Amino acid sequence: MPSPPSGASAWRTARLLSREPQISTGRTLRFTVPDWPGHLAGQHVDVRLTADDGYQAVRSYSLAAPAEGDTVELGVQAAPDGEVSPYLADVLPIGAEVEIQGPLGGWFIWTPRDAGPLLLFAGGCGIVPLMAMLRARRAAGSAEPCTLLYSARSPDEVWYARELADPGPAEEIRLIYTRQAPPGDPRTTGRVGAQDLAGLPEPGSARCYVCGPTGFVEHVADLLQTAGHPRELIRTERFG
Ligand X SMILES: Cc1cc2nc3c(=O)[nH]c(=O)nc-3n(C[C@H](O)[C@H](O)[C@H](O)COP(=O)(O)OP(=O)(O)OC[C@H]3O[C@@H](n4cnc5c(N)ncnc54)[C@H](O)[C@@H]3O)c2cc1C
Name the residues that contact other proteins, by CB under 8 A. 5, 7-10, 13, 46, 48-52, 54-60, 83, 87, 91-93, 96-99, 104-107, 214, 218, 221-222, 224-225, 231-232, 234-236, 238, 240
Contacts of 124 (CB under 8 A, 6+ apart): 77, 151, 152, 153, 157, 212, 213, 216, 239
Nearer to other proteins, 103 or 177 (CB): 103
Contacts of 158 (CB under 8 A, 6+ apart): 23, 150, 152, 164, 175
| Residue closest to 101 by CA, chosen among 5, 11, 3 | 11
Nearer to other proteins, 163 or 218 (CB): 218
Q: Which does 75 bind (CB under 5 to 8 A by kind): ligand X, other proteins, none?
A: ligand X
Q: 79 to 98, contacts with ligand X by CB under 6 A?
A: 79-85
Measured between alpha carbons, how far is 229 from 92 in angstroms, rounded to an integer? 43
Beta bridge partners of 145: none
Nearer to other proteins, 79 or 170 (CB): 79
Nearer to ligand X, 60 or 178 (CB): 60
Binding stretches for ligand X (CB under 6 A) = 44, 59-62, 75-77, 79-85, 125, 128, 237, 239-240
